[in-house]
Structure 1
Amino acid sequence: MNTFNKLLVVVDPTEEEQKALLRAIELAKKSPVTLTLFLSIYDFSYEMTTMLSADERDAMKQAVIGDRTLWLEELIAQQDLKATPIDYKVVWHNRPYESIIKEVLFNKYDLVIKGTHAHDTLKSVIFTPTDWHLLRKCPVPVLLVKEHAWPEHGKILAAVSAGTDDSEHKNLNTQITQYANYMAKLLHSEPHLVNAYPPTPVNIAVEIPEFDPQEYNSSMRQHHTESLAKLASENDIVSSHCHVLEGMPEDVIPRLAQEMDAELIVIGTVGRQGISAALIGNTAEHVIDNVECDLLAVKPDDFECPIKI
């Protein structure tokens, strides 16, 4: 697990309050970091202006980029960050998520920070928002920021799948837990683990008369409880902070986060692509629309970014 030293902060010119920047400033005050304020802009009308030459169009684009760069500098000028190295990057690109990921790959950032809000479910299936592209494709952790405050002595909730014997999932569980511990130390908060296990399939009891749903449910819960306790012990998390709950992760995680008033959820995302991503999505994508707090999404160690420099 890497620590967060080099942060890419995605700025949204349509938002009055720059949530991502405010979070980055909080992190900068708690730990030595470098910040790069990043803005991806594009105006199709500049490409269609046939009355101008290619050089004149490029000059107009550069003027807009220069103006936006000055705006970024003004955002920072209002903050007390004299000890924090800060850079500014404005790019002309028609796919914001792609420009963000290429910047990550080229300059090797540790963390992308971006403000987010609820998405329309139907539109998300047809046209995936930038947030979802980042969850699926960004090779480094992504912190999606909402309005929830980061109070001292709050709660960090790490969502894991401890009941699996798959080595890839085990490694991802360890990563998620380590990042939760890391963020908990930075924010002086308590790390918690949550593990959802599937409910007893009703159809089995109908098809197999000797099937005992209560015994099955008890065995399933015990298996997940023991697995989570082992993960917690290996990562110095107290047993009272382990939560094993029946249900689907996309239902269990938001419900527990709300009950706990968690300030941050740490979750793994597998980067599903293609039609399965459009129809099924990832747990992280379902969770982010149903929580009020921030979400930190991390990838497996062997994740291969589909976007190249």
Structure 2
Amino acid sequence: MNRYRKILVVGIIDQDEQPALYRALDIAKRSTKSSEITLFCTTYDFSYEMTSMLSADERTAMRNGVVSQKVKMLNDVIESYDIPEHVSITIKIVWHNRPYEAIINEVFDDGYDLLVKATREHAKFETVFFTPTDWHLLRKSPIPVLLVKARGWPDNGNILASVHVGSENPTHLALNHKMVEEAKYFAEVLNSTPHLVNAYPSTPPSIHAELPEFDTVQYKDAIRGHHLTQMKALRQDHGIPEEQTHVYEGITEEVISEVEDELHAGLVILGTTGRTGLSAIFIGNTAENTLSLLNSDILALKPEGYISPLDPNHI
């Protein structure tokens, strides 16, 4: 029960409600080991950089004054939280105009196990988008990212891991096992039940017109059979009962959303394939498309050996 003992929480400055801190405390409270939580925020005001009447030292003093004021405000906030003796909370605010860079730099500087951030939908006409910081953290964080929505953990709820059993890519296969282990861990921590879900593609509608002799039924059965066989092997490797595995035809993000809703899951675990260079512009999988469809918290995991484009040792 001590997988996450050093947690970095992205706080919301100038706000009493801190959903990410609440969730991090919930995780830490369930551990019998000592845990460290850092409530981390960024602040920035371009006008302080443009005050030509002030010297550099005076501008620095003004920035430090703003940061000190924000720290005091957050100290007042956390005093209202129930913090057990084995959990310590440190507040850290930095002056930075790119929050995601400051957050990931902090991850590298202090060796955290888990990054927790509250997330939300934008206006109705932008429901598929979340904050740019969310996307950057999903793409570039070297540690697991827990995106928290407003509701709390459900008692005796379900944990859903979205696995990709149809792949023969070693990275994907290893990530499947990592997600299942994470699902089992959180199920134990939250007194919940782990479930696995996998989607397989539909037969392209145009294939029969292009290849009249093609047996679409046989093809569909073969695809489903392959995914069921691979899911069976995965669940047996981890001791997951058959009734806790779900294999359906369809678009991955839609299948995940439907099963999450059916199970009333409190947490969905997704794998995010890390990329570098120009391809880092796109995450290359369903994690981003899935976010806006889910009501649960989301835990995004990277494959072993992932190197962040912000890693100071590889820049």
Q: TM-score, normalized by length of structure 2? A: 0.92
Q: Of 152, 156, 178, which aligns to 1:175?
A: 178
Shift of 1:5: 1.2
1:225 pairs with 2:228? yes
Residue by residue over 1:46-93, the C-alpha shift from the partner in whole angstroms, topping out at 9 and shown as x without a partner, is: 111111110000001111111111122222211221411221111111
In structure 2, the CA distance between the partners of 1:137 and 1:174, relative to structure 1 (3 Å rule), is same
Counterpart amino acid of 2:294?
V
- 2:213 paired with 1:210: yes
Aligned-pair Cα RMSD in Å: 2.2
Counterparts in 2 of 1:115-264, with a 5 A limit?
A: 115-119=118-122, 129-264=132-267
Amino acid corresponding to residue 61 of structure 1 in structure 2: R
Q: Which whole-Å CA distance do the structure 1 matches of 2:261 and 2:14 have between them?
A: 28
Unpaired segments of 5 or more residues in structure 1?
A: none
Measure the CA separation in 1 of the matches of 2:129 and 2:279.
13
Aligned to 1:60: 62
- Letter of the 2:60 partner, please give it: D
- Name the residue aligned to 1:271: 274
SS at 1:78's partner residue? coil
Q: What is the CA-CA distance between 1:272 and the residue it aligns to?
A: 4.4
For 2:185 and 2:172, locate their aligned partners in 1 and report how far apart those are by CA, in whole Å: 20
Q: Unmatched 5+ residue regions in structure 2? A: none
The range that moved more, 193-202 or 74-83, is: 74-83
CA drift of 1:133 comes to 0.4
How far apart, CA to CA, are the structure 2 residues paired with 1:36 and 1:280? 27
Structure 2 residue 308 is matched with structure 1 residue 302: no
Q: Distance in 2 between matches of 1:59 and 1:172?
A: 47
| Contact residue 197 and residue 244 of structure 1 kept, 8 A | yes
Q: Any idea what SS the aligned residue of 1:85 has?
A: strand
AA in 1 matched with 2:301: V
Aligned counterparts of 2:247 and 2:115: Cα–Cα separation in 1:
30
Identical-pair percentage: 47
User: What corresponds to 1:107 in structure 2?
Assistant: 110
The count of residues paired between Structure 1 and Structure 2 equals: 308
Residues 91 and 280 (structure 1 numbering): CA distance in 2 closer, same or farther, change over 3 Å?
closer
1:6 is matched with 6
Over 3 Å counting, the alpha-carbon distance change for 1:183 and 1:214 in structure 2 is: same
Distance 1:230 1:9, change over 3 A: same
C-alpha separation between the residues in 1 aligned to 2:18 and 2:56? 34
